[in-house]
Structure 1
């Protein structure tokens, strides 16, 4: 069995353990209404996680997603309040802002050879600051902007009890997985993350590949912002605060290696569901909100430590098999 497949089963096992734990202690947990809300809450994290998966596969990191989501939402809020543009143009503007944010991240990283951590940590602050600059204000005080036009709020609705955002999540996940596994671009992403120098020598334009990954993140952030603001029917300057942690956590829990070269969208889907189940269960237990980040942080540490141990075991097993084959051949 392939190493990625084994790792995916491990992620699924972690998810099932959480489900069993919470369902055994709460009669409400497995009710249809709660299951639907779990999928809804996982969807925005998962949609953004698809793009972040691409970046992490190349060996990079993306820390600005929460701030970029808020910026997209605030741009749409300004268009909604101060113009008479049709809703579809407002949505298009939001998508363009997300793409521009992703492009800017990719540009400063590839053009100036900045570490992804430093670059996206900087744009995390820049995008949040821009959100505050253009925030809706009344008497000089920042306020939330209601956005109640039915042509916009429809995106926050549902059909047959399933939220549109959940449908979009799984559609984008299928597309994202196909791109990773069936296209040259997907192969290039893995090649860059596995060995950037070797990828360059084989003719892959590594900077262009990394740039494209960040632009895809920007698109996913814009889609996530549209669904988030339409469900809330408003936006604020603090929208998306801390979102980047949950997104990265979902990708890592799903089996994406932080040093690049391994992972896929299916794992990210599992990771997003894991984080949503964890949040849902913590809420049901009424655990103090101050402890929630601690619990998540401990889980991420354990997953990263496990991955390091697991990768070392797999490498040793591969060396042992190779040595055994050589001995059999020699005999």
Structure 2
């Protein structure tokens, strides 16, 4: 007896070539569509969190949305934001810098002590400090690329070295600058509408703008993403991955110098004990900002949003009268949630 075409189709296993369902694209669930969207737009999730946080704390604390409170919030996150910009470049290569905060402290001490103790003009002291920051970044990069040491181990070691050198150099004492010093310029405020911002905040935003352009529009930026995504494939494609990795740590040195100048203007000098928390805070901002710890995915503007989120939580909880210990708890929860979301996004399927 002859077999009809419909009988033949019924005998085939579902999903085998030739079935009608193979000709129809698989429909995505709403959750899968969200997963694809967040994969294409890494900065979207921190932006959503930031907006929701601002709205919630604006309701909980009446004074949160006042111009003065918002101005102080942005000024408080400027140092962490600048460090997060440099940390982003390194994490995009699948590396990490645990020493970035203490490198900033050492750089700020060099600038301040040259100006205060040795009478070096402020501009020259700044330039020497920038050179020191670049050398510190270069040292990390050389250890990672030439000795093939893991970034975690290298920067954990240099964290201790930079800490010891800072304490010895300053004899454990805070150094205050005299009013009028050029190095204090970043602490001066200007009016933007009804909000006062410091020049240090504008310097931080300029740093983000330059890095964002470089990562998005230059060959260096494309090579950086490729190296972080798959270093072996990048080597095979002809990219000098060691040079790219080395450049990432040097560029982070520029961010360190900017952060050092900002912190000098904020505190009026340099404190050898000031940077113990900046290392983890910068990493926290980058992770919350949507940059993957596995490298190759993320945007530097996401780290700016991440730094704002951390400061929004700290300021919002403080204005709401919440115990400071819960502020630390909230930051830890945010980090775990951010890493969990990143893992989920990386499992995106076509």
What is the aligned partner in structure 1 of residue 144 from structure 2? 109
Tell me the secondary structure at the aligned position of residue 246 of structure 1: helix
1:207 counterpart (218, 221, 242) = 242
In the alignment, is the contact (CA less than 8 A) between 2:42 and 2:299 conserved in 1?
no
1:144 counterpart (174, 187, 207) = 174
Cα offset for 1:124?
A: 0.7
1:261 counterpart (277, 296, 302) = 296
Tell me the secondary structure at the aligned position of residue 41 of structure 2: helix
Q: Where in structure 2 are there 5+ consecutive unaligned residues? A: 1-35
C-alpha separation in 2, matches of 1:145 and 1:187: 42
Tell me the secondary structure at the aligned position of residue 60 of structure 1: coil
Equivalent positions of 1:295-310 (< 5 A) are: 295-310=330-345
Tell me the secondary structure at the aligned position of residue 159 of structure 1: strand
What is the aligned partner in structure 2 of residue 15 from structure 1? 50
Given the two structures, how large is their TM-score scaled by the length of structure 2? Answer: 0.85
Choose 58-67 or 155-164, whichever is displaced more. Answer: 155-164
In the alignment, is the contact (CA less than 8 A) between 1:147 and 1:230 conserved in 2?
no
What is the aligned partner in structure 2 of residue 156 from structure 1? 187
Deviations 1:138-162 (A, max 9, x none): xxxx321111241222221112222
Equivalent positions of 1:234-313 (< 5 A) are: 234-312=269-347
C-alpha separation in 1, matches of 2:297 and 2:62: 38
C-alpha separation in 2, matches of 1:266 and 1:73: 25
In the alignment, is the contact (CA less than 8 A) between 1:49 and 1:250 conserved in 2?
yes
Which stretches of structure 1, 4 residues or longer, exceed 6 Å deviation after superposition?
none
What is the aligned partner in structure 2 of residue 129 from structure 1? 164
1:191 counterpart (196, 208, 226) = 226
C-alpha separation in 2, matches of 1:259 and 1:79: 40
Cα offset for 1:289?
A: 3.4
What is the aligned partner in structure 2 of residue 41 from structure 1? 76
Cα offset for 1:266?
A: 1.6
Deviations 1:6-62 (A, max 9, x none): 332221111112111211111110000111112212222222211111111111111
2:201 counterpart (147, 161, 166) = 166
Cα offset for 1:193?
A: 0.7
Deviations 1:203-249 (A, max 9, x none): 11111101111111111111101111122112211011111111111
In the alignment, is the contact (CA less than 8 A) between 2:39 and 2:345 conserved in 1?
no
In the alignment, is the contact (CA less than 8 A) between 2:187 and 2:262 conserved in 1?
yes
In the alignment, is the contact (CA less than 8 A) between 1:252 and 1:258 conserved in 2?
yes
Cα offset for 1:116?
A: 0.5
What is the aligned partner in structure 2 of residue 328 from structure 1? none
2:212 paired with 1:177: yes
Q: Where in structure 1 are there 5+ consecutive unaligned residues? A: 319-331
C-alpha separation in 1, matches of 2:208 and 2:116: 33
In the alignment, is the contact (CA less than 8 A) between 1:71 and 1:127 conserved in 2?
yes
Q: How many equivalent residue pairs? A: 310
Given the two structures, how large is their TM-score scaled by the length of structure 1? Answer: 0.90
Q: Comparing both structures, which one devotes a greater share of its residues to helix?
A: 1
